[in-house]
Structure 1
Amino acid sequence: MLKIGIFGVGHLGKIHLSQLVTMKDVEVVGFYDPSNANAASVAELYQIPRFTIAEELIQLVDAIDIVAPTTLHFKLCEIALRNGKHIFVEKPMTNTMDEAKTLVKLVEEANVKFQVGHVERFNPAFLALKSYNLKPMFIEVHRLAEFNPRGTDVSVILDLMIHDIDIVLSIVQSTISRISASGVAVMSDTPDIANVRIEFHNGCVANLTSSRISLKKMRKMRLFQKDAYIGIDFLDKKTEIIKLKTPEDEGLFTLDIETNSGKKTIAIDNPEVKQSNAIRMELELFRDSILQNKPVAVNVIDGLQALDVAHQILQKIGKNQSTPTS
């Protein structure tokens, strides 16, 4: 039985808690949240003890789940690591790069399981492509959300775009050669909308747009590679592959088109998207990594790399905003 404590029971924290309390081989020992309003509703609904001192809860558990504001991530992780506890921490891993680099060292020294909550890795639409050979040379991403004051303690880069940064880094097996970025703070003190171009040494280019001031929601990624187009709708959980037909594509819907080099046959594939709960899946994998001593699904280096790119983007945006125009 894995004894776990949850830190932060706001909107997302409550979702985590609802999954953990019904999970096999998991005992939720208690929760920590400085908000009396959050604490009262959770304590009443789940009959789980509230702790007002983080260290006291950490001492009583094997692992902690951090769903607190980003600014608190490092402090909570540091205390847990120094006590040899396993950690699941929501993205972004930390608020600053210095904190992230320190965490990497602490995780190595503590020799514990440390998983970062990049939940889109477990989106059913993305998982449907697990067996497909992804080698994109151009990636187009749009992640748009309606304005919500929750989450505006960090920029749209760390709030929304970091999901897509992590996915792109996991797909493109190459190092980054250049980053271009622009962004604007509209409703908050940090960028609310941003457009980013990431160029990789293998020639792949990723164009990412994120906004939290949109009138509609959108979470789409389009991958273009030799002989194929792959569309992923993270919001509606749909995946589509349009490619040049091969002998293995018998049974798929096909379409003939005329090109300058003659007739081509296009095959359209809609891989089966098995419905699942992405948050539950990532938490179950975290549990299994501890109880079965397996590697975590998204490790501390993955979290560091995504955060590093995010901060490079923020620096580019800051530099562009401070550059006078003639």
Structure 2
Amino acid sequence: MLSAAIILPGEAEMLPFDSLRAIEGVEWDGIFYSGKKTHPAFDRSLIFSSPEIIPLICDLLIVVDPAFCTSDYLSFAIRNGCHLFLSDKLILTTEERKQLINLANEGGTYIQIQNNFLFHPFQEKIRSQNNRTIFIEATQSAPAKPDRLNELLQNNLLMILRAAASPIHKLNVFCGTVPSRQPDVLNIHINFKNGSVATLTLKFIEQQEAHILSIHARGQVTTFNFIKNKISHSPIPALKSVVSKTSPDPLQEQITDFVKNITEKNNPGFSLDDEIQVFLLMEKIKEKIEIASFTIH
């Protein structure tokens, strides 16, 4: 049984606390909450007035409030033996990320980053394709919003890297922009060392969202439609298309998976090391965007 504590943001009343409280293998020992209201799902006796005490009383520290995802605070928690489940809104340098990984490795603790997309029901089916993948094609369109590029890049690159399951051999980036702060059309072409090829197309000029991944392998195409939660095959096999149900509480699912991995001493589903690899790849892509982009006036 792991003793757990959680640091919550001010809007925490929107989180499904009842489902978190039901996670097996966890005993809740502490809560720090920066909001004005106390959620009724937790015992008031668990609430601490100071976040500095929290890492001293738990084995698993869940930091949902990105304001506490700082290098100093997380290092303090790791040195006190805490496994960390962190918000996906990390504002850390690459060097700070590496320092946290080294601290965790030295102390025998694990770090997992929240990522709802990687816990979509399709992800396990996508990973099962990686021993026979030949061509991967991902397309996503979305309305242009500030910082949306980072989110879409990270999620799609993670998915492609897991499907290919091979180091990158070559990377090409092509993009075009109507004068704006981010490219409106971005095309990424990746050659992998195992011979697989992937293309990723992101469009920020569409009003309606669409997100499709197609994996071509051994004469069959498997298509995952994330908006409609539907899987289809071509040629159509004996089994018909599958409609998948998304998890009602992705945070509970991810923490449950993390607790299982800690207990069984397995690597986290999305570790800080995984996040660094994708972060560095995104930086390379952004550098190429500056070189390869053209503007439509």
1:78 is displaced (CA, Å) by 2.2
- 1:129 touches 1:271 (CA, 8 Å); kept in 2? no
After superposition, give the CA deviation of every residue in 1:15-49 in whole Å (9 maximum; x if it has no partner): 47453223233344444455xxxx124x2443456
Please give the per-residue CA displacement for 1:228-266, whole angstroms capped at 9, x wherever unaligned.
1111122332111224x8xxx5xx1xxxxxxxxxxxxxx
Distance 1:2 1:192 in 2: 46
2:38 matches 1:46: no
Distance in 2 between residues matched to 1:220 and 1:175, nearest whole Å: 23
Q: Give the CA deviation at 1:219.
A: 2.6
Residue of structure 1 equivalent to 2:230: 238
Where does residue 274 of structure 2 map in the other structure? 302
CA distance in 2, matches of 1:67, 1:192: 31
Cα distance in 2 between the residues matched to 1:143 and 1:73: 32
**Is 1:173 the counterpart of 2:162 in the alignment?**
no
Pairwise CA RMSD: 3.7
Partner residue of 2:58 out of 56, 61, 68:
61
**Amino acid of the structure 2 residue aligned with 1:100:** R
What are the ranges of 5 or more consecutive residues in structure 2 without an aligned counterpart? none
Q: Residue in 2 aligned with 1:314?
A: 286
Note the 1:1-326 alignment, pairs <5 A.
1-9=1-9, 14-15=14-15, 17=17, 19-32=19-32, 34=34, 39-41=35-37, 43-47=38-42, 51=48, 53-69=50-66, 72-91=69-88, 95-129=92-126, 131-132=128-129, 135-146=132-143, 152=146, 155-181=147-173, 182=175, 194-210=186-202, 214-243=206-235, 252=238, 269-271=240-242, 273=244, 276-277=247-248, 278-320=250-292
Once residues 33 and 75 of structure 2 are traced to their aligned partners in structure 1, the CA distance between those partners, rounded to angstroms, is: 17
SS at match of 1:198: strand
- Structure 1: how far apart are the matches of 2:70 and 2:207? 31
Post-superposition offset of 1:14 = 4.5
Preserved contact between residue 149 and residue 182 of structure 2 (Cα < 8 Å): no
TM-score (norm 2): 0.79
Does structure 1 conserve the Cα–Cα contact (< 8 Å) formed by 2:59 and 2:83?
Answer: yes
Cα distance in 1 between the residues matched to 2:186 and 2:50: 38
The one-letter code of the counterpart of 2:288 is K
1:53 CA displacement: 4.1
TM-score, scaled to structure 1: 0.73
Deviation of 1:281 after TM superposition, in Å, equals: 2.3
Change (3 A) 1:60 1:282: same
Within 2, Cα distance between the matches of 1:18 and 1:319? 49
Partner secondary structure for residue 55 of structure 1: coil
Paired residue total:
292
Q: CA deviation at 1:147?
A: 5.7
Alpha-carbon spacing, 1:324–1:217, altered in 2? closer, same or farther (3 Å): closer
Cα 1:227–1:300 shift into 2, 3 Å? same
**CA distance in structure 2 between the partners assigned to 1:198 and 1:132 by the alignment:** 17
Residues 72 and 299 of structure 1: CA distance in aligned 2, closer, same or farther (over 3 Å): closer
Quote the Cα distance in structure 1 between the aligned partners of 2:95 and 2:287. 15
Distance 1:235 1:241 in 2: 17
Change (3 A) 1:173 1:129: closer
Structure 1 residue 286 displacement after superposition: 0.8
Give 3-state SS (helix, strand or coil) of 1:112's partner.
coil
Once the two structures are aligned, what percentage of the paired residues are identical? 21
Residue 288 of structure 1: CA displacement?
1.6
